Structure formats: C-alpha cells, structure tokens
Amino acid sequence: METNNGSSGTDFILLGFSTHPQLERVISAVVFLFYLVTLLGNTTIIVLSYLDAQLHTPMYFFLSNLSFLDLCYTTSIVPQMLVNLWGPQKTITFGGCVLQFFIALDLGATECLLLAVMAYDRYAAVCQPLHYTVIMHPELCQKMVLSAWLGGLGSALIVCPLTLKVPRCGRRKVDNFFCEMPALVKMACVYPRVIEIVVFALGVIFLLTPLSLILISYGIIAQAVMRIKSAARWKKVLNTCGSHLTVVTLFYGTLIYMYMKPQKTTSQDEGKFFTFFYTIVTPSLNPLIYTLRNKDVKNAVKRILWTKRL
C-alpha cells in the first residue's frame, strides 16, 4: 500500500523539527558539524589507544570502548536525520525505526554501565595505586566491558518488543527526530502502564544504580585526594577524574530527566532538546573532554607523528 507522498503505509513519519521549518537548514548544519567532530574525535582516541603502547592501559581500553559506542550511537541517528532535514519527506521505514530504537536502547544502557566501570577504574588508580595493575588486570577489564555490552543488549531485548506491541491505532507520526522510546510510547492509543513500570525498573538498574556506584566511588576518591600532599599528583588525579565526572554529569543528567519522570509530563520541544543533547552533543564532547587537558594523549600524538616522520 502506498500513500500519496510515495511512502509505504507501514512507514513512520519523523516529525523532528518540522514545526520550525525555517530552522531546519540551520539545525542540519549544526548536526553535521557535531557529527564530524564526533567522527574525528572518537576515531582519534580509538586509533591512538591501539597504536601507542603507552596507552595500553585499562583507562584507555575503557575510553576506546566508549568512543566506539558513541560512534555507533550517532551513526545510527544522524544520517537519517540529515536526510529528513534536507528532504521534503520525513519518513523512515518500519524496519529502520525498529533498528534505531533497538540500537539507542542497547547503546544507551551499555554506556551507563561502562561509565560505572570507568569510575571503578579511577577508584582503583587513586585509592589503590600500588595494587592497581594487579586489580585491573586485562582479563578483568575485558570481563567488565563484556558485561556492560551484554547488559545493554539485555535491556534492549526486554523493552523493545514490549514497546512495539503497544497498540498505535494506525498512528505513524513520531514526534522526534529519531525513533526513541519516549516518542514511541506517546504514539500509543492506550495508556502503556506496563511499559512505564518496566522502564522505571530498568531505569533504576541502568541509571540510578550505576550512578550511585559512581558517586560512592568519587566520595572515596575525594577522601583520598584530601590526603594527597603532592601538588603535581593532586592535579593529575583531578584532571583524570574531572574529565570522567564531567561526562557522567552530562550523560546521566539528561537521561535521568528524560527516562525517570512520567512521559506525559515532558513537553514536545523540551524532550527534543534533551534528546538532541545526549544523542548529538554529548558524543562529540566526550573525546574533547578527555583529551584537551590530557598530556598522555598529546604525547601519544607527538610520538606517532614523530615515528612517521622518521
């Protein structure tokens, strides 16, 4: 079955920013710029972590996983978003919508767990420096990362089918720029009480619990930092922990606001703003936050460039 605009009757319509058509070209330029920064920054971290032997540490192993995750996350959203911003049609196939939805759930939950793992790594580095290499051995690091990826996958396998089974009564308009759970829930023609309960429960598991562990880790780190007498070491600890804490604040702050409050209380424009922030802006900021004040990364770039010259 074909509709008048040439799209299939099973396709979804991503409304995006169509209520502000005069801003669509500006928004597309901003999105494209952030996407380029995301590609360049995260790819640089992955390549440096692989090529430079001095970055073969748990911290950069976790950071390269975070960069790879952010690359996959934004790539699942931005190309379709740019097509819809520039073209007259705002459609996405049902299969494409399901894929976007599943990837967003999977990678979002994985990042929550991965940031908690990175907080534990910082705790071990600051509070157990003499035993750090013993505690954070490669096998443990691999298991922790694998657990984060599998945990995210499990959450997506639970929530995605439940959300897609909710009756939509023929509704096809998704009031967002990609297929995200809050927007899909609002399409339902019945009150999806079960989904809200499941999402709240998973929110506690994947948002509040990891965040609590992160705050506990930094509480212990703060106590340890207060006992540090060396100004140089104190500054180094503050730089590495400060970068991670900034990323945690940006990511968890927006996600908790979007997912831990009743979906009906979030306005359309407000929801799009917060979604834009943690899907487009934050992945581009992560590599900048971790590298701008990081001497290890700067030195790695110099070593690799010097080696190529020789």
Q: What is the mean pLDDT of residues 93-114?
A: 93
Cβ atoms < 10 Å from Cβ of 157: 12
Give the pLDDT band (50/70/90) at residue 3.
very low
Q: Is residue 120 part of a domain?
A: yes
Q: Is residue 21 part of a domain?
A: yes
The first and second tokens of residue 35, run together, are 């996407």
Let me know: does 107 contact 73? Beta carbons within 8 Å. yes
Rounded Cα distance, 85 and 256, in Å: 28
Let me know: does 96 contact 134? Beta carbons within 8 Å. no
Q: Is residue 53 part of a domain?
A: yes
Q: What is the mean pLDDT of residues 295-306?
A: 74
Q: What's residue 2's pLDDT?
A: 42
pLDDT in tens, 258-289: 777 665 555 667 778 888 888 999 999 888 88
Angle at 249 (CA atoms; ends 16, 161), nearest 5 degrees: 50
What's the whole-number average pLDDT of the chain?
85
pLDDT in tens, 186-203: 888 887 778 878 878 888
Question: How would you class 65 by CB atoms within 10 Å of its CB: exposed for 0-12, middle for 13-18, buried for 19 or more?
Answer: buried
Rounded Cα distance, 153 and 151, in Å: 5
Give the pLDDT band (50/70/90) at residue 121.
very high
Let me know: does 286 contact 67? Beta carbons within 8 Å. yes
Q: Is residue 7 part of a domain?
A: no
Q: Is residue 2 part of a domain?
A: no
> Could you identify the residue written with the tokens 């979906």?
263
User: Which CATH number fits the domain that encloses residue 119?
Assistant: 1.20.1070.10
Number of domains in the chain: 1
Q: What's residue 148's pLDDT?
A: 96
Task: Reduce the DSSP state of residue 261 to 3 states and report it.
Answer: coil
Q: In which domain, by residue range, is 111 found?
A: 12-302
H or E segment to which residue 93 belongs: none
Let me know: does 71 contact 45? Beta carbons within 8 Å. no
The type of residue at 208 is L
Number of H helices, E strands in the chain: 13, 3
Q: Are strands 91-92 and 173-174 parallel, antiparallel or unpaired?
A: unpaired
Q: Is residue 152 part of a domain?
A: yes
CB-based contacts of 105: which residues, under 8 Å, 6+ apart?
152, 155, 156, 159, 160, 181
Q: Which residue has the higher pLDDT, 39 or 221?
A: 39
Tell me the backbone φ, ψ of residue 91, rounded to 5 degrees. -90, 160
Q: Is residue 147 part of a domain?
A: yes
Q: Is residue 309 part of a domain?
A: no
